Amino acid sequence: MSIVELRDVHKVYQLGKTQVPAVRGVSLQIDVGDFVSITGPSGSGKSTILNMIGCIDTPTQGEVYIQGQCTSGLKDRQLTVLRHRTLGFIFQSFNLIPVLNVLENIEFPLLLGKPIMDSGAKKDWLEYLVEAVGLHEHIRHRPSELSGGQRQRVAIARALVTKPHIVLADEPTANLDSKTGQSIVELMHKMNEELNTTFIFSTHDPSIVSMAHHVIPLLDGQVVSQP
């Protein structure tokens, strides 16, 4: 069974009096453990689709299914719980909480909602993540003391901390130089393999696209039929 499914999803933005169709009838399925890249030129609807999968935006028409659950009609509170339990997020500009240090940033999602592991398991898990993203020497640092690549590593650990089934990343390398960007996607790939977490990320960088298991090419809000 696919872990993410979009059925004829449309998204129309209202821009003043004009309607901007950002996504025009996209249907797709993504399987558990996949490492998928959504590609396409700027304005093709990558972000819009990721937002809808991420339950921070809703389709104008059509349905989004996460682990078989239809997200339409869910209340804000339920969507928030769904995001917290099932989804992890990696942001374009890292979005770490500036007042928290590295370890606290990674731990942050665990402090929301009901506890999902006991403190012993939590300690081991955090240690594993810190080690996995290679930041054990920086756990007491504030985000402002880190480089872009390091910040994104923190973000990757944070996205994984609740053991989500799906991690979403909208152009996670957009604010990094190409070499660092490459290493970030490599790290994502490593975690994908180690934890079997489904990764869905967007990019328009061909060298990164090549690392994906599957590619969903977008153009003008529609999936381009693959050659």
Partner 1 sequence: MRTVLKTAVRSVFRQKRRSLLLAGAIAFGMLMITLMNGFTEGMLTNVRDNLSHALGGHVFVSGQEITETGRVVSRIDFDDRLQTLLETNSAEIASITRRSQTFGTVVFGSRQSAQMLYGVDFQAEERLRTSVAVTAGSLEAVMEDDQAIALPDSLAQRLGVELGETVLIRLDTVTGQRNVGEFWVRAFIEDQAELGMSAAFGHRAYVNTLLNLPSDSYQSLNLFLHDLFAADKMADQFRDVLPLRPVGEDGDDQAAAFGFGPFGQQQAPEPWDGIRFTIATINDIMEPIEAVVLVLDRLSLGVFAVLLVIIVVGITNTFRMIVLERTKEIGTMRALGMQRPTVRRIFLAEAAFLGLFGGVVGLGLALGAMTVVSRLTVAEPGLQFFLAQGRFTFQLVPQVVLLHFAILTFVCLASAYWPARSAADLPPIKALGGHL
Ligand X SMILES: Nc1ncnc2c1ncn2[C@@H]1O[C@H](COP(=O)(O)OP(=O)(O)O)[C@@H](O)[C@H]1O
Among 67, 92, 182, 222, binds partner 1 (CB under 8 A): 92
Among 23, 102, 169, 223, binds partner 1 (CB under 8 A): 169
Stretch that binds partner 1, among 27-35, 52-60, 65-73, 207-215 (CB under 8 A): 52-60
- Of residues 89 and 125, the one with the C-beta less far from partner 1: 89
HEC-encoded secondary structure of the chain: CEEEEEEEEEEEEEECCEEEEEEEEEEEEEECCCEEEEECCCCCCHHHHHHHHCCCCCCCEEEEEECCEECCCCCHHHHHHHHHHHEEEECCCCCCCCCCCHHHHHHHHHHCCCCCCCHHHHHHHHHHHHHHCCCHHHCCCCHHHCCHHHHHHHHHHHHHCCCCCEEEEECCCCCCCHHHHHHHHHHHHHHHHHHCCEEEEEECCHHHHCCCCEEEEEECCEECCCC
**Site pattern 3..42 for ligand X (x: CB under 6 A):** ----------x-x----x-x-----------------x-x
Among 44, 47, 173, 192, binds Mg ion (CB under 5 A): 47
Q: How many residues bind ligand X (CB under 6 A)?
A: 12
Binding footprint of partner 1 on the chain (CB under 8 A): 47, 50-51, 54, 56-57, 76-77, 80-81, 83-85, 89-92, 95, 97-100, 104, 108-109, 111-113, 158, 162, 168-171
